[in-house]
Structure 1
Amino acid sequence: MTHEAKPGWRTHACLVLLLIVYIFNFVDRQILSILAQPIKAELNLTDAQLGWLGGFAFAFVYTLVGIPAALIAQRVGRVRMIAGALIVWSAATAACGLASSWLILALGRFGVGIGEAGGVAPSQSLISDLYPPAHRARALAVFSLGVPLGSGLGIMFGGLLAATFDWRHAFMVVGLTGVLFAPIFYLGARGRERQTAQAASPLASRLRRVAANPSLWLISLGASLSSVIGYGLMFWLPSVFMRSFKATLMSASFSFGLIVLIGGAIGILGGGLLADRLGARSPRAFVLIPAVAYLLCIPAYGLVLLDPGFAFDQAAGFALLIVAQALGLVWMGPVTASLHHVVEPEDRALASALFLFITNMIGLGFGSWIMGLISDYLSHNYAQEALRMAVSYGLGFYILGALCLAAAALRLHRDWRTR
């Protein structure tokens, strides 16, 4: 397959539609974080139960369905799969607003995970087909803006709806909006999907080929370990603001939403542009840039969490959290691009699904849950400050993630492909 030297406006328009779908993905995924406190009060839940809902309840089915969904997408078409997945996860989000118990809310989160499993891997694969290697990291970085935009908007509008009405209406409004957008996406994106000219290899050989790739495993493990604290912070920081800094629901949602929006956009776009520039000289830049950013996250977050002088709602603390959020999301463009450079073009959707399986099972599945468990354990000694301390201890996962990406840098040149 040949790539366009300069992608045209139709390709960029398709990327924008995929970005909007990804925004809905993270709105629906992260809205639970800002609604955690009113849900906890009404349903009488513990931090561990909330962390399980925010992580494992979603991640278990997401990872279970992700690889089969990527394989099905190649048969039915990636655009069709993405549109159908958007309907499923959005409807499940709306259904969460009807929950009367922890179990029913968990079933709703299962539905969100099942739907979202069919969205991200096909989207990343489609983008890598549409954009040439020289533009791929920045294109995937633009797509990855769905993380801060979706998370920030979900937190801000979720908090606004919950404060104005209640948490049930927040789930219903954001969920039904996604259902309405699905046909718009399908009509706008169909026709942009292109298949490789050669026939795909047998599934068994493709699975063996991808599973035997050392670079893929090191990259995935590095992203997974850092995502334990990354997802933990994304889920629990609004609650830390409310418990330790005495913020209201509205001020916590607005402040954290802005932090995610501004910091995330800067970090993701900056990481993608820097990786395309430095990666042209050495492929190792695609993993070393995120590794350095992970290490810088520790003092940036630690100063706010451990030093009372850096309250989140003061200028210095707010600015520092924007820097920390930017550093924490630098990895998304470079790591995803590097993943697609170490496998054959026909294996990209499968590699993305395997990558998402590992990162979501480890990072999303255990991040918020582990932080909640530690918080419950520390509550006997730290009372309301237990959650803040639990999140602070979790910053050590950034070191583990950086070490894995550094190890990947030593191996990367052997597996690198230029297509």
Structure 2
Amino acid sequence: MNGEQSVPLKLERTTLESAAATPRDQVMRASWYALFIMTLIHSTHYLDRIVVSIVIEPIRHEFGLSDSQLGLLTGLVYGLTFAVAGLPLGYLVDRVNRRNLLAIVVLCWSCFTAFAAFAQSFSQLLLARMAVGAAEAGGSPTSMSMISDLFPPRKRSTAMGVLFLSTSVGAAGSAIIGSYVAVHYGWRAAFLIAGLPGAIFASILLLTVKEPRRGAMDPARVEPKAMPSLKETARFLVGQKSLRHLFIAMPLAIMAISANSAWLVAFLMRVHHLDLAHASIVAGVTFGGFSAAGSILGGLLSDRVGKVIAGRRIGLAAATSLLAVPVAVAATLVENTPLAIASWFILAMLAFSTIPPTFGSMVSLAKPRMRGITLAGMQVVTNLIGYGLAPFMVGMLSDVVGGENSLRMALLIVMCGSLLWAALHFYCASRHFEKDMARAAQL
């Protein structure tokens, strides 16, 4: 390829990444531009996912809902349809034009978000959220598959960190919607406004971004012409020990994030007696500034510590998960409102720092023609267990515990338990990472 020599693959602790210093490492401006557009698109993904959590209290009062029903609405039905649609869409990611697929799904989830504004019952609102979950199942796998062909292995965690800056953009949008639109025009207007940006970004994507060539940024090798079958893909992925542990660790880490994002506004309103406008602003700063800081720092630090020993990327995720546990205790139990809010800020930063190294590592653990299904599979379990089950578990536990501290205790149990468990599997994944990465690079 332009006269460059194939680089021999070695099973050294310095890893394959250090051996792959080729012209592929020269990331083009077009790659950064494509990443910027995908980050904007992913921001609508996050906004349309969490807008229901921002207006959860007005919805609860209008329809007379319990916390269990709210947990169903904010997470479980979304996660279930996401899981159903995730693998078929991941199958398509490996086989069709990814740019076009991404444009289609973002347009769909934006429309379904807007449709929620017209719901006249709890069941209609559930159906709208189910449709959003099904459409969003194709968003992240498509974007991350494209990123793997736009950036070399040594820069993928950083690129993933930039992608997950989308949470800050989406959170900023949710803060505006919650503190102004919902307060002055009601929760239905909030859904309508949240659904608008996606159509704009889908058009920009189609007009200005090209589909990257698959495998363009991987160490030089000959890719088989035939597409691997689902059986071959499954056999290979199951054989990756580090990948198996990541498939457990990431959903558990997402559980803490999801419990936080789904219930933070309600928690601040019930426990610290903030009004909707101020609670929305706090949530916006939490998932705007501090989640963004976590994403960027997590990506940059993991790429830095992984330069010599790649497995240290995942080890960093294990360490931050452990560090987040006492912070979660403070966030839920501290009575002083400013101190509690500061704890929520730090918790969001630590929790989000685990995402870039995980997904950045995953694309290096799968062959190019297996990345769509791999990422889709991860998205299925993270959304079903993390984003789907966690909010419902918090709501159910809150109803079971009862009393004025029910939500406080439910959040404490779910977040601390999931973070401790995640840390264990991140550590186990780090021990097998280098060997599995070498296996993925072989023919």
TM-score band by shorter chain is: over 0.9
* 1:97 CA drift (Å): 0.6
CA distance in 2, matches of 1:409, 1:357: 22
Q: Call closer, same or farther: CA 1:112–1:308 in 2, change over 3 Å.
A: same
* 1:265 CA drift (Å): 1.2
The aligned counterpart of 1:202 is 229
- Counterparts in 2 of 1:38-117, with a 5 A limit? 38-117=58-137
The aligned counterpart of 2:141 is 121
Question: RMSD value over aligned CA atoms?
Answer: 1.7
The aligned counterpart of 1:415 is 436
- Counterparts in 2 of 1:173-252, with a 5 A limit? 173-189=193-209, 191-196=210-215, 198-199=224-225, 200-252=227-279
CA distance in 2, matches of 1:318, 1:374: 23
* 1:3 CA drift (Å): 6.5
- Counterparts in 2 of 1:19-418, with a 5 A limit? 19-189=39-209, 191-196=210-215, 198-199=224-225, 200-309=227-336, 311=337, 314=338, 316-379=339-402, 383-394=403-414, 395-417=416-438
* SS of residue matched to 1:384: coil
CA distance in 2, matches of 1:273, 1:177: 29
* 1:268 CA drift (Å): 0.7
Q: Check whether the contact 2:89–2:138 (CA below 8 A) recurs between aligned residues.
A: yes
Paired residue type of 2:292: A
Gaps of 5+ in 2: 2-21, 216-222
Q: Call closer, same or farther: CA 1:194–1:410 in 2, change over 3 Å.
A: same
Q: Check whether the contact 1:34–1:159 (CA below 8 A) recurs between aligned residues.
A: no
CA distance in 2, matches of 1:131, 1:166: 43
Alignment deviations for residues 276-316 of structure 1 (CA, whole Å, 9 cap, x no partner)? 1111111221211111111111211211321213x1xx2x4
* 1:223 CA drift (Å): 1.0
* 1:401 CA drift (Å): 0.6
Residue of structure 2 aligned with 1:18, choices 38, 41, 64: 38
* SS of residue matched to 1:287: helix
The aligned counterpart of 2:17 is none
* 1:203 CA drift (Å): 3.4
* 1:317 CA drift (Å): 3.6
- Normalising by structure 2, report the TM-score: 0.89
Q: More displaced, 212-221 or 114-123?
A: 212-221
* 1:104 CA drift (Å): 0.4
* 1:53 CA drift (Å): 1.1
Q: Check whether the contact 1:3–1:129 (CA below 8 A) recurs between aligned residues.
A: no
Q: Check whether the contact 2:172–2:288 (CA below 8 A) recurs between aligned residues.
A: yes
Q: Call closer, same or farther: CA 1:268–1:154 in 2, change over 3 Å.
A: same
* 1:166 CA drift (Å): 0.4
* 1:347 CA drift (Å): 1.2
Alignment deviations for residues 160-194 of structure 1 (CA, whole Å, 9 cap, x no partner)? 211010000110111133223321221122x2421
CA distance in 1, matches of 2:64, 2:280: 22
* 1:114 CA drift (Å): 1.2
CA distance in 1, matches of 2:23, 2:156: 11
Alignment deviations for residues 352-372 of structure 1 (CA, whole Å, 9 cap, x no partner)? 011111211111121000000
* SS of residue matched to 2:94: helix
* SS of residue matched to 1:396: helix
The aligned counterpart of 2:7 is none
* 1:148 CA drift (Å): 3.3
* 1:25 CA drift (Å): 0.1
- Normalising by structure 1, report the TM-score: 0.94
* SS of residue matched to 1:416: helix
Q: Check whether the contact 1:11–1:192 (CA below 8 A) recurs between aligned residues.
A: no
* 1:198 CA drift (Å): 4.3
CA distance in 2, matches of 1:324, 1:64: 31
* 1:137 CA drift (Å): 0.9
Alignment deviations for residues 235-291 of structure 1 (CA, whole Å, 9 cap, x no partner)? 001100000100000000011211211111111100111111111111221211111
CA distance in 2, matches of 1:397, 1:84: 34
Alignment deviations for residues 26-62 of structure 1 (CA, whole Å, 9 cap, x no partner)? 0000111111000000011111111111111111111
CA distance in 2, matches of 1:195, 1:396: 39
CA distance in 1, matches of 2:48, 2:153: 31
CA distance in 2, matches of 1:149, 1:297: 23
Q: Call closer, same or farther: CA 1:75–1:409 in 2, change over 3 Å.
A: closer
